[in-house]
Chain A
Amino acid sequence: MPWNKSITLKLILVFTLSSALIFTVLIGYNYYRSSLLLEKGLEGEARNLAFSLVHRVETELAAIGKVTEGLARTLEVAEYSESELLALMRGTLVNNPEIYGTVIAFEPYAFKKSLRFYDPYFYRENGEIRFIESDQSYNYLLKDWYQIARETEKADWSEPYFDDGGEEALMATYTVPFYMGEGAARRVGGIVASDVDIRYLIELVSSVKVLKSGYAAIISRNGMIIAHPQQDLILNENIFSIAEEYNDQELRELGRKMIRGESDFTLYANMPGGRSWVYYAPLGSTGWTLAVTFPEAELFAELNQMSLAMSGMGLAGVMLLTIAVVIMARSITRPLCHLVKATNALAKGNFDLELPTVNSDDEVGVLTRDFQEMKVSLLQYIHDLTETTAAKERIQSELKVATDIQTSLLPRIFPPFPDRVEFSIHASMDPAKEVGGDFFDFFFIDQHRLCFLIADVSDKGVPAALYMMVAKTLLKTEAQRLGTPAEILTRVNEILAADNESCMFVTVFFAILDTRNGEVHYANAGHNSPLLASKGQGFEYLTIKAGFVLGPMPGSTYENEKITMRPGDVFFLYTDGVTEAKNQESALFGEQRLLATLQGDPQASLSELIHTVRAEVVKHANGAPQSDDVTMLAVRFNQVEGQAKIAPTVL
């Protein structure tokens, strides 16, 4: 995966994606909350606008209503003569300039028994008040303004209408029934009606603008459009006819709610300008409905614009951030890349390479300086190691010389005494380290007596080797001078113990074979018991006195013991390097196994015998490192000195 291989790519991905996500969430949330706020705000505004318009219209019309009602009530309290009535009407019109015309229409024959119709009418024209006398040919009884008030006996506003008096005046009439007679005879005497030119109210409402294309409108109780910015709709179109034209049931329902006098703020989908908010409320006493509407899209236009701008800014911000991340990542990874190249070379062993110079104190700087220090340390280490290795090699070569010397000290030519047929002798020593602490020796102390010994110095290595040198020399020297093995060991112990500050010691089995009769005198200083193969009976461990090791303390004494070897008997001496050889599981080779190995072929020559044991020990170790020197010595007594010569056994 490429993003797994580049820090820059990873950083870009993480920063860009997360910041884009943050921007998206922020803008989305902002849009959502703002749209809610806008809706609320605009609902309030629409309400307020509608309320103020309603109030304005209502104030005007309510005043006219009051005057008209007042006139009707006046008619009820007294009977008026024709001149008084006309004066009253004229006065009303003079005092109320907002009223266009006033008529008092009586029920048939109610004003005068001779008159079927009586409906004097005062109205304004060019600032003057004019009067139209009652005309018997004009039947007002069937006029809506008269009949509705007459039949419902309620004061009410008419549907607005165009005045046919030439001018395009949009009029509405307020009608109030008045009563005549008392008690049971009380009945409707006629209707007082005031005409009002509502053009300026309509213009007021029609000119309202909400947002860009929102507007206000008034519909009558029949759903007729009374006020609308589109003049040609007024009194021609009807909310229900529009609904029918577009087969729009939703609009029809809206219209029905409006003419029922309900009030609501609602969304209407099929407005020509797109889905629109509509606030509608009844226009007080008129029963008409005022509606304020504006397209939803306009409400959100600014918000959409703002959100778009914010998105743009967000995008630019993300891009800037990306660029910044790239630059930043480069500034981090460039020295890192140099460092990686350098450390690669370093890893391949090129310590001479110069690391890039870094001036900053940031992590990369620290890392580079650390690498620099590591390089120096490594160089130092390698230098030290080279010196140490040289020193070690010197010691090694010296040890090799020591090994050679030690090897040369031990008898290594077999058979050592080819002219002596009375016995055979063979030995071997394999040191665990370059130099060992084990040793063996054999030599004649006179014409007939052969000394042979095996020894094991405590510890290994150079100190053991040095100690062994001393012990071997002492043993040989003292053997030449003294008689019995016990005396020799006692004497050597005294010498060794005298200056033994390192508390080293050595175990020794020391024997002297008399070739004239096969007698063997021996003494033991803490060494393992040797094995003896008597003719025909095989090997067995010799029971001997243990004796104390040579070296640690003066005053030790040793006892002489004696056995007599018959021709064919074999003495087998060994150090604990044989019996205590360990395999991988730390199991010891053991005395039983040594015995068994020796029993395997008692007739074998001594060299074969020693080789067989050595091979068995190696087999047992099975690759485990040799922990101690392995030393063996075997002596076979062939014949008494001077007897008929027997051919020596092959070594």
Chain B
Amino acid sequence: MPTISRKHTARQWSGAWLLALFLGVIGLIFSGSAYADENVLKKASLFPLWSPQAQFAGYYVALDKGLYARHGLEMTIISGGPERSPVESLQKGEADFAVLWLVDALQQRAGGGKLINVAQLVQRSSTMLVARKSSGIRTPADLAGRKVGVWEGVLGIPARIFLNNYHLQVKEIPQSYTVNLFLRGGVEVVSAMWYNEYHTLMLSGLDSDELNVFALHDYGVDLPEDGLYTLAETLRQDPELVAAFVRASLEGWDYAFTHPDEAIDIVLKYMREAKVPANRIHQRWMLARMEELIKHKNSPRSFGRLAQSDYEAVGEVLRKHGLLPVVPPYQVFVGETDAVE
């Protein structure tokens, strides 16, 4: 692929992105759906990290409320799940966009995958380690020698960094996508997402005062999680498609946060279609937590944007722990330049 042309396109796209965003907002205010009607809808697809749940509410809301269509997209959301990898789907061309963790995308990039961060949603780490108080685990040091459930692959990275930071030797048990092993006493410590597994523990009859929670961002492990990615190729070929997708997705999130009940109804609908257990209360919790994670108030983090400082900090942490040989330049990673590999 010619480098120059890609660079040129990226610059053009950058300007176009801002302009289009501006025009889009204006258009949304003044002309409603007129904008979309004038264009033939472009096909696009999204592969979320997981099966439908409120973690991806913004996309499902955008789809359901016709926001993608309004931005000229005929959107498909591919149902994710434990058996499928979003990165593979991107690379195989099954999906144009995917929801990935920043850490995952960085590692993929280091492995040669040409992934571009087009938006960063979850601005901080939501991963936590949870132990029963009755197990006597009160401080990180108490984890030593314990059976700790850790997700395999990229989802386990924050926990491993945390354990490394404290130089803890634990019996690491690969953790599945349920907390049942912990509930049945198979492990003493369980990995949990604040927006998901932590609440599942509550919904399994555990009270928060029975638990000791190590929220990793409180212990200096603060890795932004969900972001929207596409292949550099896709961005190069159709930057407007990417821009429209990002805009519609962010609008979708915005709508979900201002209309949480409707958003949950929409999410539940897709969950039922995908035949995954659908629990309104759990989804409500999840959406509320996602809002906190996405609307991170602290500057320089802003809605939908990956802050350069965050990016560099994460890169540094990964590099330090030997999880990343080199940190690609921020501008390249967010597609503002296709300069040098």
Contact = CB atoms under 8 A, between A and B. Distances in A.
Interface of A: 141-144, 147-148, 150-152, 156, 158-159, 162, 164, 221-223, 235-242, 244-245, 252, 255-256, 259
Interface residues of B, number: 27
Contacts of B202: 240, 244
A144 B180 contact: yes
B217 interface: no
Return the 5 tightest CB-CB contacts between A and B, nearest first: A151-B186, A241-B281, A222-B204, A240-B203, A142-B176
B84 interface: no
A234 to B, nearest CB: 10
Given A152-B184, A152-B186, A159-B180, A141 B204 contact: no
24 contacts: A142-B174, A144-B180, A147-B173, A147-B174, A147-B181, A152-B186, A156-B184, A158-B180, A164-B275, A221-B183, A221-B204, A222-B203, A222-B204, A223-B205, A235-B277, A236-B279, A240-B204, A240-B205, A241-B203, A244-B202, A244-B285, A245-B280, A252-B205, A259-B204
B277 A236 contact: yes
Given A222-B180, A222-B205, A237 B186 contact: no
Interface in B243-290: 275, 277-282, 285
A403 to B, nearest CB: 127
A168 to B, nearest CB: 9
B279 A237 contact: yes
A521 B170 CA distance: 170
A256 B275 contact: no
Contact of B176 (A144, A152, A156, A255): A144
B203 A244 contact: yes
A241 B275 contact: no
Given A141-B174, A240-B204, A259-B205, A148 B181 contact: yes
A210 to B, nearest CB: 25
A223 B185 contact: no
Contacts of B174: 141-142, 147
Interface string B146-158: 0100001000000
Interface in B146-192: 147, 152, 173-176, 178, 180-181, 183-187
Contacts of A255: 205
Given A151-B147, A236-B279, A259-B205, 14 more contacts: A141-B174, A142-B174, A144-B180, A147-B181, A148-B186, A152-B184, A152-B185, A158-B180, A162-B275, A222-B180, A222-B204, A236-B278, A244-B203, A244-B281
Contacts of B173: 147, 151
Contacts of A144: 176, 178, 180-181
Contacts of B184: 148, 152, 156, 221
A148 B275 CA distance: 24
A579 to B, nearest CB: 123
Contacts of A236: 277-279
Given A238-B203, A244-B203, A147 B176 contact: yes
Main secondary structure of the interface of A (DSSP, over half): helix
- For B176, B203, B205, B282, which residue has the most chain A Cβ atoms within 10 angstroms? B205
Nearest to B268: A236
Nearest to A149: B186
Nearest to B171: A151
Contacts of A143: 176
A433 to B, nearest CB: 121
B264 to A, nearest CB: 12
Nearest to A245: B281
A148 B277 contact: no
Contacts of A148: 180-181, 184, 186
Given A162-B275, A236-B277, A259-B205, A142 B186 contact: no
A259 B202 CA distance: 13
A476 to B, nearest CB: 144
A256 B186 contact: no
Nearest to A238: B203
B204 A223 contact: yes
A148 B149 CA distance: 12
A222 to B, nearest CB: 4
A240 B173 CA distance: 28
B279 A241 contact: yes
Contacts of A238: 203-204, 279, 281
Interface string B192-229: 00000000001111010000000000000000000000
A147 to B, nearest CB: 5
Contacts of B285: 244
B192 to A, nearest CB: 15
A245 B202 CA distance: 13
A151 B181 CA distance: 8
Nearest to A156: B184
B200 to A, nearest CB: 8
B210 to A, nearest CB: 10
A162 B278 CA distance: 13
Contact of B187 (A151, A159, A162): A151
A525 to B, nearest CB: 137
Contacts of B147: 151
Contacts of B203: 222-223, 238, 240-241, 244
A290 to B, nearest CB: 17
Given A142-B174, A142-B176, A144-B176, A241 B183 contact: no
Contacts of B181: 144, 147-148, 151
Interface in B39-55: none
A223 B279 CA distance: 13
A152 to B, nearest CB: 5
A259 B180 CA distance: 14
A158 B178 CA distance: 12
A241 B180 contact: no
Nearest to A244: B281
Nearest to B283: A241
Contacts of A141: 174
Nearest to A147: B181
A156 B185 CA distance: 12
A242 B207 CA distance: 15
A235 B277 CA distance: 6
Contacts of A252: 205
Contacts of B175: 142
A279 B205 CA distance: 19
Contacts of B187: 151
A221 B184 CA distance: 9
A156 B181 CA distance: 12
A191 B152 CA distance: 22
A222 B279 contact: no
Contacts of A244: 202-203, 281, 285
B186 to A, nearest CB: 3
A142 B175 CA distance: 7
A69 to B, nearest CB: 18
Contacts of B278: 236
B186 A222 contact: no
B64 to A, nearest CB: 20
B80 to A, nearest CB: 15
B341 to A, nearest CB: 32
B121 to A, nearest CB: 25
A158 B280 CA distance: 23
A151 B178 CA distance: 14
Contacts of B180: 144, 148, 158-159, 222
Nearest to A159: B180
Contacts of B204: 221-223, 238, 240, 259
Contacts of A245: 280-281
A241 B280 contact: yes
A239 B181 CA distance: 20
- For B152, B173, B187, B202, which residue has the most chain A Cβ atoms within 10 angstroms? B202
Nearest to A154: B184
Contacts of A147: 173-174, 176, 181, 186
Interface in B272-322: 275, 277-282, 285
A148 B186 CA distance: 6
Contacts of A151: 147, 173, 181, 186-187
